[in-house]
Amino acid sequence: MSEDIQEEKKFKGPRPIVFIALKIINDELVVERCVSPSGADVTREQVFAFSESNVKEIFQEKHNSSPELIIGPFYDVKALQPEIQTKKTSKIPEVPMAELQLVDNSCRIVECEGWQGLSYKIKNREDVLLFIPNFEINSSLLKNKKTPKIRTVPITACHFLANSNNN
């Protein structure tokens, strides 16, 4: 079960290096942002081989003149770096506790994620239960784990105990 919950981490490759090339053309400031190759298939050597001469070539091709000033190298801001798609865990949309409507007489004792507690069915939600953790099943006296919050959990993550109600 924990394998399904954990996210896959993919190697994004080395961080891209950025240069800014500037020149005034026809009384206007022309700014060209040049970024080194990036991605999982790019090596560190390819990233660090990106230099001012590459920036001059790029600027020359686009604007038919060489830049007056080149600023860099520096790393890209993380917010501007392209995101690599990773496998995300499916999240259950949270419902505020005040808005939850519980089914009458639906309390059952369950085991969920290593904790034993009470579960309640929620009206109009057949796929989830409200889980109230009580105690850890295999607790160690050396480790004091914080009791998880009362929350909604997928019904598939719960194991119903035989001595609970069968409503």
Domain segments of the chain: what residues?
13-80, 97-160
pLDDT of 148 higher than 90: no
pLDDT of 122 higher than 80: yes
**Greater pLDDT, 62 or 143:** 62
What would the DSSP string read from start to end of 104-161?
Answer: TT--EEEEETTEEEEEEEETTEEEEEEEEEEEETT--SS--PPPPPPEEEEGGGEEE-
Cα distance between residue 159 and residue 139, in whole Å = 18
State the number of CA atoms in the 13 A half-sphere of 161 facing the CB: 14
Cβ–Cβ under 8 Å, residues 17 and 48: yes
Give CA separation, 122 vs 3, 125, 133, in Å: 27, 5, 16
Cα distance between residue 126 and residue 111, in whole Å = 18
Cβ–Cβ under 8 Å, residues 114 and 130: no
Mean pLDDT of the region 27-44:
83
Cα distance between residue 91 and residue 45, in whole Å = 39
Cα distance between residue 145 and residue 32, in whole Å = 53
Per-residue tokens: 62? 């686009």
User: What does DSSP say about strands 125-136 and 115-122: parallel, antiparallel, or unpaired?
Assistant: antiparallel
Q: Which of 13-22, 90-99, 152-161 has the lowest mean pLDDT?
A: 90-99
pLDDT at 57: 92
